[in-house]
Amino acid sequence: MALKVIPFFHDASNTLSYILFCETTKDAAIIDSVADYDQNSQKISYASADVLLCYVQKHQLNTKWLIETHVHADHLSASTYLRNKLGAKTVVSEHITKVQQTLKPIYELDCATDGSQFDVHVKDGEYLPLGELQIKVIGTPGHTPDGISLYCDGHVFIGDTLFMPDSGSARCDFPNGSAQELYDSIARLLSLPEQTKVWVCHDYQPNGRALDFHSTMAEQRDNNVHLQQSAEDFVAQRQQRDATLNKPKLMDVAVPFNLQGHSVV
Ligand SMILES: [Fe+2]
């Protein structure tokens, strides 16, 4: 009995999606799947998600969960598309409602704000069964209020909290983001066993280095460029840096799409 992790990289958005499955039962979860979006034609398509679909079908996996680590601002989710193909359940944080309530008026959306677009709302400390294994939900807000990380069998999928050690941490300037909350969330992740395998949601390949998306908690603790300082200095550095960042280029398309659990077939 062990967890198998298969990463997929979406080049256009620098996003890592993961298929994880119990090797004994082949029960599977997909974390942070990505839809393709062409800015010129404004068309949504699913060639990248179909790669995940092919993997699932080829390996005869039983996909149970389609998990979003948060409402993404930089890419469109393919979870609802994959739900329609696979019959699995979409999973988001219970705090999706906070994101919907905050952003509905900003984007002038006509949508429910009770999270009813998604099948399962999870809380911090809750478990999702995965064959002979369990996925533990760890609430990790800060980048967004609905941030969650997923721990299973010595692996943790950390969404937008930390990036690779040479790339620091995620921005906290979206509505209801908080650098202090992110610091507290990171501290919770760092309390996991130091040999825990850490899988990030994005890698921007700084200074031309090769793609990398996998470290350990000890490597993050000892080497992450944003963590070698006090909490106060982390928060100050994060806020200063966030003040210089541009809005993600797909944000005004991605946020309304993702917080309403949309898909286009
Ligand atoms: Fe994000």
pLDDT at 195 over 80: yes
Mean pLDDT, residues 150-161? 98
The pair of structure tokens assigned to 226 is 């944003």
**Domains of the chain and any CATH numbers:** 3-257 (3.60.15.10)
Q: What is the C-alpha separation between 206 and 51, in angstroms, rounded? A: 26
Query: Which helix (H) or strand (E) is 89 found in, with range?
Result: strand 89-93
Query: Residue 121 CA to chain centroid, in angstroms?
Result: 15
**pLDDT confidence of 265, banded at 50, 70, 90?**
low
Residue 159 Cα to ligand 1 middle (Å): 7
Residue 183 Cα to ligand 1 middle (Å): 16
Query: Which helix (H) or strand (E) is 131 found in, with range?
Result: none
Q: What is the C-alpha separation between 202 and 170, in angstroms, rounded? A: 9
The predicted structure's pLDDT at residue 264: 78
Q: What is the three-class DSSP state of 51? A: helix
The per-residue pLDDT for range 181-191, each reduced to its tens digit, is 999 999 999 99
> What's the chain's average pLDDT?
97
Residue 136 Cα to ligand 1 middle (Å): 20
- Whether the CB-CB separation of 63 and 52 falls below 8 Å is answered with no
Residue 174 Cα to ligand 1 middle (Å): 9
The per-residue pLDDT for range 8-17, each reduced to its tens digit, is 999 999 999 9
- Whether the CB-CB separation of 188 and 243 falls below 8 Å is answered with no
Residue 72 Cα to ligand 1 middle (Å): 4
